[in-house]
Chain A
């Protein structure tokens, strides 16, 4: 049963660029990976990070800079961005896990703000303008990611799309394997009852930190991919708004579900791109309202509710 769902999803993903405009689809995939990475922390470890934009945005600056100025190939750029985010995750994570619950959220928010200030002031980030004109380059130095195929008269950037799709699947697979490993079971134990996990002899701090680093790395990978898709790394990517948005995506889709964050990310990103032309900057207010309604009446999210109806965990 599960296998069939995955195969259908992969086929949908492979065919998507012929139906949906590829750039839109790639944006969805980047934010979906971002939300899935975030969910590993909130949904499976019970840690609410309010600073995940630091990893997402930080990695997109690093990748953008390395690809643009140092001429790295895109796959190495993404790798570098991911590693950077992992390292940053190690630093921020080891500080933040010193406090619990609500303080954890505030510490991550404040630490992410330092990253924001650095992005604003550092010489290579382009300040308010961001890092523009990031080249997509040639994958492994061979395959031109800018190349567009003409399908039915419209140009489709399929090379880039499939690169992003494969990266997304890789990231998602890592998260899936983490959740379903013995390590993931310990994370869930910590989420459910931390003192009990401690009393069973688990080094809770270590587990939290590893989960934080994995989550940060993959959030960074999503950001790195985003910088290639939009050829832009901007201050928005590192701002607290982005940190809040990823929380909303996860909440709306279903905290602690495998497919929830993806669903939530698709919903929020689609809403934003569809509505922003109609309502302009009122979109922030709408996002805020969704947040409030979600917290008050819809805490399980789409997939969580669906799972409850089907009486199984999705």
Chain B
């Protein structure tokens, strides 16, 4: 049970990341390979904001605290995303969607390569989490680290919040309409290009948010994103990117399955998600929540 709870902790990260991928895919029709790298970048914004930003701007006592990092990192990465969309991705919409994947793959190499040059691949610890989230809490059936519980709760809030905005609000209805038929929505006077830019920005900001949440749990390393993204791709294949709720639920579920596998047969825990993907491809090729095309 405790492993399943710890698995849920991975699961919420899978959920946030695959949610971001699904939102981006819905409107832009590209798979954002840079998602993992931007997740890593979010963690580094938090880490460097805490350790190096103060000395850099001449205020040696200044440390960007955890709460500020939770806001600042998504903003910084979101802005970077907006720049990427405006300067590069925009030029590719009229070509095959595969080019978007290749472009973002190149960006992932650039971001990851840059950080590999400055930081240790084995990772640095991030110790800026707030005092009161230290220690454990009694859940009745197990003792659970407070911070991990916080990460799970806040991730779920963000995931379901995003789902609510997209599925239940006016803004979300524009977004869904844009996914269905961008030309028609444009004809109604909605600024679709701006919507696309902001969607990409929001999608990658989610990745950065997950990165900050993950920073105190895992060590912050340049390769944390690339390990994550391949697993998240498998999650996305299993769930299908057609449904927002589908990608959230698939992420959570697979995190728990992974945690459970650690108990049953530990060596398989790193591959179990890929094996589930194989089974899903055999049984229901369109994915659990996908529509048959």
Q: Taking beta carbons and an 8 Å cutoff, which residues of A are in contact with B?
A: 48, 95-96, 98-103, 105-107, 109-111, 113-114, 117, 121, 240, 244, 247, 251, 280-285, 287-292, 294-296, 299
Contact A111:B233 (CB < 8 A) given known A281-B113, A281-B116, A291-B102:
no
Nearest first, the 8 A-B pairs at minimum CB distance are A291-B106, A288-B109, A284-B113, A288-B110, A285-B113, A98-B285, A292-B106, A110-B234
Distance in angstroms between the alpha carbons of A289 and B92 in the assembled complex: 16
Q: B128 an interface residue at 8 Å Cβ cutoff?
A: no
Residues of chain A contacted by B278 (CB below 8 angstroms)? 95, 111
Contact A295:B274 (CB < 8 A) given known A110-B230, A285-B109, A285-B113:
no
4 further A-B pairs in the complex, CB-CB below 8 A; given A107-B281, A280-B117: A101-B98, A113-B274, A282-B117, A295-B102
Cβ contact within 8 Å between B275 and A291: no
Q: How far is the CB of A284 from chain B (nearest CB, A)?
A: 3
Which residue from chain B places its CB closest to the CB of A280 in the assembled complex? B117
Residues of chain A contacted by B230 (CB below 8 angstroms)? 109-110, 113, 240
Distance in angstroms between the alpha carbons of A281 and B113 in the assembled complex: 8
Chain B count of residues within 8 A CB distance of the other chain? 43
User: Looking at the complex, which one of B110, B236, B274, B293 makes contact with A292 (CB distance below 8 Å)?
Assistant: B110
Q: B95 an interface residue at 8 Å Cβ cutoff?
A: yes
User: Looking at the complex, which one of A99, A109, A283, A294 makes contact with B281 (CB distance below 8 Å)?
Assistant: A99
Cβ contact within 8 Å between B270 and A107: no
Q: How far is the CB of B225 from chain A (nearest CB, A)?
A: 12
Cβ contact within 8 Å between A99 and B237: yes
Cβ contact within 8 Å between B103 and A292: yes
Contact A110:B274 (CB < 8 A) given known A102-B98, A292-B103:
yes
Q: B112 an interface residue at 8 Å Cβ cutoff?
A: yes
19 A-B pairs in the complex with CB atoms less than 8 angstroms apart: A98-B285, A101-B98, A102-B30, A106-B234, A106-B237, A110-B234, A111-B278, A121-B267, A281-B116, A283-B113, A285-B109, A285-B117, A288-B108, A291-B109, A292-B106, A294-B106, A295-B92, A296-B88, A296-B103
Cβ contact within 8 Å between B277 and A285: no
Contact A105:B108 (CB < 8 A) given known A95-B282, A111-B274, A296-B103:
no
Which residue from chain B places its CB closest to the CB of A244 in the assembled complex? B105
Cβ contact within 8 Å between B109 and A287: yes
Interface string of B271-291 (1 = CB under 8 A from A): 100110110011001100000
Cβ contact within 8 Å between A295 and B271: no
Which residue from chain A places its CB closest to the CB of B114 in the assembled complex? A285
Residues of chain B contacted by A291 (CB below 8 angstroms)? 102-103, 105-106, 109
Cβ contact within 8 Å between B237 and A244: no
Residues of chain A contacted by B274 (CB below 8 angstroms)? 110-111, 113-114
Which residue from chain A places its CB closest to the CB of B21 in the assembled complex? A106
Q: B213 an interface residue at 8 Å Cβ cutoff?
A: no
Cβ contact within 8 Å between B99 and A106: no
CB proximity to A under 8 Å, residues B220-248: 226, 230, 233-234, 236-237
Interface string of B43-74 (1 = CB under 8 A from A): 00000000000000000000000000000000
Cβ contact within 8 Å between B226 and A114: no
Cβ contact within 8 Å between A48 and B101: yes
Cβ contact within 8 Å between B237 and A110: yes
Q: Which of B98, B110, B270 has most A Cβ within 10 Å?
A: B98
Residues of chain A contacted by B116 (CB below 8 angstroms)? 281, 284
Residues of chain B contacted by A96 (CB below 8 angstroms)? 281
Cβ contact within 8 Å between B99 and A299: yes
Q: How far is the CB of B246 from chain A (nearest CB, A)?
A: 14
Distance in angstroms between the alpha carbons of A307 and B120 in the assembled complex: 45
Distance in angstroms between the alpha carbons of A284 and B118 in the assembled complex: 13
